[in-house]
Structure 1
Amino acid sequence: MSSDNPRFATPSALEGAAVDAAILTRHSMRAYLPRPVERPVIEDLLRVASFAPSGTNTQPWQVHVLTGAAKARLSDRITAAYLDPAQNAAHQEEYAYYPEQWKSPYIDRRRKVGWDLYGLLDIAKTDKARMQQQHGRNYEFFDAPVGLIFSIDRVMQQGSWLDYGMFLQNIMVAARARGLHTCPQAAFTQFHRLIADELQFAPEQMLVCGMALGYADPQAIENSLVTERVPVAEFTRFYE
């Protein structure tokens, strides 16, 4: 095998720094500029992301890209159901994203990021109406020009969902390499039946999550939120 095969080449310091920068500057952005993202950019981003590893190369991801009127139709349907108490109550998640019983430190981190975001937006803890309004912005993809919906075949098991996470991370990192931002969104899972109907899912398709994609609005206060990260020493053990 040739020694100049790029698979075995050591990245230059500049290339390594670029990868690190894409990872470190990835944050969930909740406000976007109206600037469109051209289809060739989306296609290239997904092509790169598809090199994520998957068990025995199963590649379990299925991507639905929404822009323009198609994105507006889906957002309108979900928003109407979300704002109607009776309809909202009739829609339940198909799988549990979060634990049924929370414990520390996870519940503490969850509460902190929530109150940090609401603090930036000047939403008081008692202001349920504004909390609902802010959560509802999920279903508009936070005004991003591109909405991504991800599905998986129902026969696939937990390992394939791990593979899917690596694919999603690749999308978010590749987006940063192109000056774009994202926000992965589990909020869509509550309305999986509406999404399946609108996008004409085959019966074997199951919703995984959604994601906003676009150029983040640098003036939006919510985009200044930076979540804390636990030091390596706190979550790692070394064995020699």
Structure 2
Amino acid sequence: MTALSGLLRARRSVRAFLPTPVPRATVEALLAEAARAPSGANMQPWRVHVLQGAALQRVVQGAQAIHADPAARAELRAEYLYYPEHWQPPYEARRRELGLNLYRLLGIAKGDKAGMHAQHGRNYSFFGAPVGLLFSVHRCLTQGAWLDLGMFMQNLMLAARAKGLDTCAQAAWIHYQAELSEWLDLPQDEMLVCGMALGHADPEAVENQLHSRRAEVAEFATFHDD
């Protein structure tokens, strides 16, 4: 339990990675461990596309080119909303706190749209990680499968931390469903849910000093004991 508690506290979203390669065998071992996640009726609905080497660079180059082109960027379409269209408390405050703290570390001033755009664009390099992961589910499946995928991803992130690796889950890739389907010849019956960067954190990168605050248990848990 002590070891597990340490992993839970050590896992965080890393936004700058070293180019140090991660062997394919290591990635396969991590995925095998993650696959011990529970799923409804043992459906194991997760699909994972692992990007390394030339395939990774092809995707990064294509996505960054679109991100740099306002006209091309305007054509992007996500198939589902990750964030709400209308924010309410406390979610908006938490989101703002995270963004402000990250930009403060990076020296990006409030209103610096160019700086924010450039930082957001780093999503599309997987923050420099040598491994990019894309997660999808079959289109015939419903919300339960997405819950199962989330547990699979948490397993993966904890397994990576146990091996000295770091991760960053990325919803930003959902806007590139059509483009990724073309670049990687993804099956049309798969729906992209999110991406993830995997690799060795850059200890010198200032953004990796970010530690997001977590709400106290009393803020989100209600105990019914009568």
Q: Shorter-chain TM-score: which interval?
A: over 0.9
**Are 1:237 and 2:217 an aligned pair?**
no
* Cα distance in 2 between the residues matched to 1:59 and 1:99: 28
Consecutive unaligned residues in structure 1, runs of 5 or more: 1-15
**Are 1:39 and 2:29 an aligned pair?**
no
**Shift of the alpha carbon at 1:144?**
0.4
* Cα distance in 2 between the residues matched to 1:237 and 1:186: 29
* Cα distance in 2 between the residues matched to 1:197 and 1:209: 17
**Are 1:214 and 2:206 an aligned pair?**
no
**Shift of the alpha carbon at 1:197?**
0.9
**Larger gyration radius, structure 1 or structure 2:** 1
Amino acid at match of 2:64: T
TM-score, normalising length: structure 2? 0.98
* Cα distance in 2 between the residues matched to 1:207 and 1:237: 34
Q: How many residues are paired up?
A: 225
- 1:125-136 aligned at under 5 Å gives the runs 125-136=110-121
Amino acid at match of 1:109: R
Q: State the identity as a percent.
A: 53
- 1:180-215 Cα offsets, whole Å, 9 max, x none, are 000000000111111111111111011111100000
**Shift of the alpha carbon at 1:157?**
0.1
**1:186 is matched with which residue: 171, 174, 180?**
171
TM-score, normalising length: structure 1? 0.92
**Are 1:159 and 2:141 an aligned pair?**
no
**Shift of the alpha carbon at 1:130?**
1.1
- 1:13-34 Cα offsets, whole Å, 9 max, x none, are xxx1111111110110001111
- Number of the residue aligned with 2:77: 92
List structure 1 runs of 4+ shifted beyond 4 angstroms.
none
**Are 1:65 and 2:54 an aligned pair?**
no
* Cα distance in 2 between the residues matched to 1:32 and 1:195: 22
C-alpha RMSD of the superposition: 0.7
Amino acid at match of 1:222: E
- Number of the residue aligned with 1:80: 65
SS at 1:179 equivalent: coil
